[in-house]
Chains A and B, each alone.
Chain A
Amino acid sequence: MAVLSYLEAIRETLRQELRRDSRIIIYGEDVGVRGGVFRVTEGLQKEFGEERVIDSPLAEAAIIGTAIGAAVNGLRPVPEIQFADFIFPAINQIIQEAARIRYRSNGTFSVPLVIRAPFGGGVHGALYHSQSVEAFFAHVPGLKVVVPGTPYDAKGLLAAAIQDEDPVLYFEHKAAYRSLKGEVPDERYIIPIGQADLKRQGQDVSIITYGLMVSYALKAAEELEKEGISVEVLDLRTVRPLDVDAILETAKKTGKVLVLHEDNLTGGLGGEISALISEHALFYLDAPIMRLAGPDVPAMPYSPPLEHAFMVTPEKIRDKARELAKY
C-alpha cells in the first residue's frame, strides 16, 4: 500500500475516477495547464485532455452555474473553487439552485455535483485565503458537506461524493495537503457520506471534530495519555448530514465532550453538536459540553502572532481537554 500525502490522495482519486467514468469533468480557475494553484490537478489535463480538465474563466457563479446545467444534462462535474474564501460569489447558485433543484422539481431533476475547495488557515493566507466556510453550507438541507481528515478518508469520501446523486461540498484543508501522510490503498473504495469514524478510543474525554483538527486532536490525546488522561477522538468526516448516533455514543461513553473546530465559535458546528447531545444524552454527562473554536473575529489576520492567536493548535486542544477531564 502506497503512502500518500493528503493532496496526492485527492489527485489520485480524481485520476482514478476520471478513468472510471467518462461523464466526469473537472474545471475551475487554473486547474488545467497549471494543475491548480496547489497542484492538486497536476497532470490531469495532460492525461484526459482539454475537454475533461478545463481552465475556466475567473467567475465563480458561472463555474457553479454551468456545472449545475452540465450535471442536469448528464455529466458529473467536479468543479474546483480555488479557495473556499472565493465561494461566496457562487453561494446563490449553491444554496438556491444546486441544493433546491431536486426539491423544487419534486424529484424530477437532480444535480450530481462535487464542489472541491481548499479551506482553512495557518498557512499565512490572511483574511481571504484562510477561511473555514463549512457552517454556512451545513445549514442547508439538500447539500452534503464533507471534510476529510486523513489521506485514507480523503480518497474514500471523494469517490463517494462523485458517485452521489446530490450536490456535495468537499472541503480540503490547505495545511493538510502536504503535512498529512498515510497509507492509501490503490483500489477504489467508498466511505459512506454521513458516517463518522472513531479515530481513537478513550475513557475520560471525547473530542468531536473534523478536518485538520482530527490530527491535532490526536496529537493532544497522545500528550494527555502521558498525564493519565484517556481521550477519545471522533472524526465526523461529514458535517452534513451529521452522524448523530456516533456523536451520542461517544458522549454517553465518556460523559465529557469537547467539540472542536477551526471555524468561528458562534453558529459553528459545535453549537449543533452540543444541542444534539443536550437533547438526547443530557443525563449521561458529567460536565458541561465545552467548545474550542476559532475566535469570533471576521477572519484570520496575516501577521504571525495574530494568525497564531486565531488558530486552534494541539497545545490549545490539550489544555482545554485537560480542563474538561479535571472538571
Chain B
Amino acid sequence: MPREKGLTLDLDADRLHSMYYYMVLSRELDRRIWILNRQGKSAFVISGQGQEGLQVGAAMALNPKTDWLAPYYRDMALVMAFGMTPREVMLGQLGRAADPGSGGRQMPSHYGHSGKHILTGSSPVATQVTHGVGIAWAMRIKGENGVVLTSLGEGSTNQGEFHEALNFAAVHHVPVIILVENNGYSISVPQSREMAVRDVASRAQGYGIPGVVVQGSDPLAVYQVVAQARERALKGLGPTLIEAKTHRFTAHSSDDDDRSYRSREELQEELRDDAVVRFREWLEQERLWDQEKEDALLKRVRHEVDDATDYADAAALPQAESIYDHVYGSSLA
C-alpha cells in the first residue's frame, strides 16, 4: 500500500479494523451468493468483488445520519458499510417478503433502504445520478447539513443523464459526490471502446467542477478524496466527480462468461491489485493486524454469512396476492 503513515487522517485503529471487516464481509457474502446461485437457490448474481476497497473507503467518509446514498448494483460493500446488514442484503438476494429494499420485487443487488438513507435504484443506468442530485438539492433548499454520494460504473457515464445531472448539480452548487467505479468493462466492452478519454474524471471539466482520479485498491486514498469532496459540498462549493480505478474480479453477472472477452492473464494481473489483500498487508505492516486477529475476523464473518443465509432462507416469500400492493399510496389501482 503506497501510503504514508501520516496520511491516515483521522482514522484510528478501530475505524481501520472496521474498514477491513466490511471489505472481508462483503467479499465473503458475495462468494456465498455465487454458491447459492450454483445451488439453484438464487437466480441471479451481480457482483462487486474487486470493488470493495473503494466502496468501504468512500462509506467511511460519510455520515449515515445526515448523508444519503444513491448507489448502483455492485455496491454491496458500500451499502453495508453505510448500515445495511448481511441479513438485509441476503433477504433481497433471495427475493423474500422481508427484503427491506423492495419486498422481493427487485432483482438482487438493486439496493435501497428508506430508513437508512439508501435510495431505491433501477436497472437503466445513470438515472440515480439525477435522483442523487435532486435529493442533495432538496437538502440545500431545506437547509440540511448533509451530502449525497451517488455511484455508477464508467460505462454509465456515457448516458445523457450523467451529463445532465452533473451540469445541473454544478449550476446549482448541489452538495453531491459522484463516484465512478471504473472497473474497465461495460459488461464485455473495454473502456477504450466506451470513451475516447483515459480518465472519466476529465469529464468534470465540461461542468466546471473538480474531477479527481484515485486508486480504488487504496481505501484510505478513496476515504481522503471523498472526505475532501464532502467538506467542499458542505461548504456550498458544489459537486465533485471522483473516479476510482478498480477491477471486476467476476463476470458481469451470473448470466455472463467473461472468458469470451477478457484473457485469464489480464484477470490474474488485476487480482494482484486486490484491495482486500493489500489493505490487510498494510495493516500488518503498520502492526495493526496479525494472524490471530485475522482468524478471529474470518470466524466472525463466516458466522455472519451463515446466519444471513439461514435467516433469509427461512424467511417467507411474498404472497402472490400482494402483487397489487403499493401501486399508489391511496387505494386507487
Contact = CB atoms under 8 A, between A and B. Distances in A.
Contacts of A66: 130-131, 133-134, 137, 165, 168
Interface stretch (A92-100, A176-184, A202-210, A312-320): A92-100
Contacts of B120: 101, 104-105, 108-109
A43 interface: no
B114 A65 contact: no
Given A57-B167, A61-B130, A61-B164, A102 B327 contact: yes
A191 to B, nearest CB: 15
A68 interface: yes
A70 B164 CA distance: 16
B13 to A, nearest CB: 36
Contact of A92 (B112, B127, B167): B127
A69 B135 CA distance: 4
Interface stretch (A71-79, A128-136, A288-296): A71-79
A65 B141 contact: no
B332 interface: yes
A166 B329 CA distance: 7
B127 A241 contact: no
Contacts, number: 151
Interface residues of A, number: 46
A69 B130 contact: yes
A104 B161 CA distance: 21
Nearest to A193: B332
Given A93-B130, A105-B102, A57 B326 contact: no
Contacts of A107: 103, 325-326, 329
A23 to B, nearest CB: 8
A109 to B, nearest CB: 5
A172 B160 CA distance: 28
Contacts of A106: 99, 101-105, 325-326
Interface string A47-62: 0000100101101011
Contacts of A57: 164, 167-168, 171
Interface string B161-194: 1001101100110000000000000000000000
A73 B146 CA distance: 12
Interface residues of B, number: 49
Contacts of A64: 130
Interface string B186-217: 00000000000000000000000000000000
B278 to A, nearest CB: 35
Contacts of B115: 108
Contacts of A194: 332
A142 B122 CA distance: 15
A67 interface: yes
Given A62-B164, A101-B120, A105-B114, A142 B135 contact: no
A100 B139 CA distance: 23
Contacts of B330: 165-166
Contacts of B328: 102, 142, 144, 165-166
Nearest to B105: A104
A70 B144 CA distance: 13
A13 to B, nearest CB: 21
B124 A96 contact: yes
A304 interface: no
B106 interface: yes
Interface string A132-174: 0000000001101000000000000000000011100000000
A324 to B, nearest CB: 32
Given A102-B327, A109-B112, A62 B168 contact: yes
Interface of A: 25, 51, 54, 56-57, 59, 61-62, 64-75, 77, 89, 92-93, 96-97, 100-110, 141-142, 144, 164-166, 193-194, 241
Q: What are the 4 tightest A-B residue pairs by CB atom distance, in nearest-first order?
A: A69-B134, A65-B130, A106-B103, A62-B164
Given A56-B168, A65-B130, A66-B165, 7 more contacts: A61-B164, A69-B137, A70-B138, A108-B101, A110-B329, A164-B329, A194-B332
